[in-house]
Amino acid sequence: METNNSLELFGDFLVKNLRDKGIKNAETLLNNKSKSPSLLKLQSELNNFSEPQKALIKEVVIKSIDTAIHDFLFAIQELSDFENNIQILVNGQNIVELSDGIHGESFSDDGWNAKYSEYGINE
């Protein structure tokens, strides 16, 4: 198996199951589309915002998710460099060892967000 395939498989999984789901959840709330009783009050409050304010909130959510992903991957990178007691294996391969900086894989013009996210790159 080509090593890059495991790294890309992880990136695709991370983007679709963490980044995109978080952004989609924010959109659902901002557009008053959730049917969850526990979220009705929050949605009601969000409805008081203008469309430009809602767009700003969405941008904050995306930036926060992207920062959390970056910081999580950076922490995994640091563990790999030192203790190596937490590893992420894909097809038996340590994904940190397949990258020259796992925390940066999402963010370039041809990174994971650009390739796999339905929301693309958030500048």
Q: How do the domains of the chain map onto residue ranges? A: 3-116
pTM of this structure = 0.90
Per-residue pLDDT tens over the stretch 29-72:
999 999 999 999 999 999 999 999 999 999 999 999 999 999 99
pLDDT on residue 3: 54
Q: In whole angstroms, how far apart are CA 102 and each of 11, 32, 33, 95?
A: 10, 36, 35, 8
The tokens for 80 are 């790999």
Q: Scanning the structure block, which residue is given the tokens 């990174």?
A: 111
120 vs 18, more confident: 18
Q: What is the mean pLDDT of the chain?
A: 93
CA-CA-CA-CA torsion sign (114, 15, 111, 73): positive
pLDDT on residue 123: 58
Q: H or E segment at 89?
A: strand 89-90
CA 14, 122, 117: angle at the middle one, nearest 5?
A: 35
Q: How far apart are CA 18 and CA 16, in angstroms?
A: 6
pLDDT on residue 81: 81
Q: How far apart are CA 38 and CA 66, in angstroms?
A: 26
pLDDT on residue 89: 94
SS3 35: coil
